[in-house]
Amino acid sequence: MGSFVETTLAPGETVKYQARVSVWSLWFLILLGVATMWFVVGFVFFLIAFLRWWSTELAITDKKVVAKYGLISRQTVEILLPRVESIQVQQGFIGRICNFGTLVMSGTGTAQAPIVGISNPLMFRRVLLSVQEEFKS
């Protein structure tokens, strides 16, 4: 079974950058898993953290930005590059130290699309802006 990003690619479309959810952004679930490890609940917290990490896909192609969340209940966001109007990076204190954060993208005719817990959000933003410039040329 291929990834969601691969299944959404148009003919000739290429992936420029792929990002993951940072394990550090899941620190609270992992901490709860460790604290309740002697009970079945600890396994559930570890499982939730793993599934959140594993089932989230983020990519920038030469035509769009794609984000997919969830395993059973799936949410997707696809914004064409010309329609991305703004991108905000939100990082708290721990996010700055551990290099993760939230990206909030907004586009024309699209509500704001937050991407929570992304690893290296400034690199994602930088690549998105450079690919957007290439697209305009």
Q: Specify the fold of 19-136.
A: PH-domain like (2.30.29)
pLDDT tens readout for residues 98-114: 999 998 888 777 667 78
7-24 per-position pLDDT tens digit: 888 899 999 999 988 888
Would you state the pLDDT for residue 2?
57
Percent of the chain with pLDDT over 70: 96
pLDDT at 91: 94
SS3 assignment, position 107: strand
pLDDT band (50, 70, 90) for residue 40: confident
Which residues neighbour 76 within 8 Å (Cβ) at sequence distance 6 or greater? 4, 66, 67, 68, 69
As a whole number, mean pLDDT of residues 33-38 equals: 84
Query: Which candidate, 137, 134, 129, 133, places its Cα nearest to that of 86?
Result: 129
pTM for the model stands at: 0.82
H and E: helices and strands count for the chain: 5, 7
The winner for highest mean pLDDT among 29-33, 47-51, 96-100 is 96-100
